[in-house]
Every structure is written in C-alpha cells, then in structure tokens.
C-alpha cells in the first residue's frame, strides 16, 4: 500500500511539473499584452493569471486541477502584491482540502500533493 501511494505521489508530481511548464508558455503570451489593455480590467479581476480557473476548479471540487493551477501560477508572480495573493490562494486551497479530506479521498490525495510540492519533496 505504501509503495502504491509513493507511485501515485510521484505520478502526481510529474503531472504537476508538466502542467506548470505549459502555463509558462501561456503566461508569456499574456505578458506580451499591452499595459493599457490590462489597466482597463474590471474591478475584482484576477491579480494573477489563472486565479479564476483555480477558483473554478475548487468550486467544482476538481482538487488535483486546483493544486496544478496554484503551482502553475508560481512562475508568473512578478510583484509583491501577486506573491501575497498567491499565499492567500494557497491558504484558501489548503483549508478547503483539509475540510474536504475527511470525506473525499481525492481531496486527501490533493492535500498530500499540495504539501509535498510546497515542501519541495
């Protein structure tokens, strides 16, 4: 059973790394957008590209996708405000996963992945 968990964890981390690589390419295209277009964003718009998708994944209880999106955003953090927002999102996701992990095995698995990736293991 322990070996199976390690294999699943390794596969999850591999998927996370691959998913985050794809996010960098999308972010490059977004970063090339002219600044005036970004300045016209509606109030409450995402501070970090992909924030809305992360929230949607959390709402849909697609926990592994939420973890992938959270760590996929990390290379895009350019300002202190974005880093603070990322930390808030991390806390929200961790709390959501902790609350759901007792009832949902996918939430428990995503929580382990979240902690493992955050701790660099």
The torsion angle over the Cα atoms of residues 75, 80, 81 and 84, rounded to 10 degrees, is: 80
pLDDT tens, position by position, 63-72: 999 999 999 9
- The SS3 call for residue 87 is helix
| Confidence label for 47 from pLDDT (cuts 50, 70 and 90) | confident
Domain boundaries, the chain: 2-38+48-118
**Which residue in 39, 56, 121, 120 sits closest to 93, CA to CA?**
56
**Which residue in 121, 119, 109 sits closest to 5, CA to CA?**
109
pLDDT of 9 strictly over 60 = no
pLDDT at res. 44:
53
CA 112 to chain centre: 14
pLDDT tens, position by position, 22-34: 444 444 444 444 3
Report H helices in 40-79.
51-59, 63-73
Residues near 98 by Cβ (< 8 Å), separated by ≥ 6? Answer: 111
pLDDT at res. 56:
92
pLDDT of 78 strictly over 50 = yes
pLDDT of 83 strictly over 90 = yes
pLDDT at res. 76:
87
Share of the chain above pLDDT 70, in %: 63
């Amino acid at each position: 059973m322990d070996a199976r968990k390690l294999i699943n964890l390794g596969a999850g981390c591999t998927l996370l790394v691959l998913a985050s690589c794809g996010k960098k390419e999308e972010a490059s295209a977004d970063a090339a957008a002219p600044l005036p277009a970004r300045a016209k964003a509606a109030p409450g718009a995402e501070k970090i590209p992909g924030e809305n998708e992360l929230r949607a994944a959390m709402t849909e209880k697609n926990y592994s996708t939420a973890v992938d999106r959270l760590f996929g955003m990390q290379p895009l953090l350019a300002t202190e405000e974005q880093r603070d927002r990322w930390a808030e999102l991390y806390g929200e996701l961790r709390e959501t996963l902790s609350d759901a992990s007792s009832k949902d095995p996918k939430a428990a698995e995503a929580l382990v992945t979240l902690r493992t990736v955050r701790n660099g293991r």
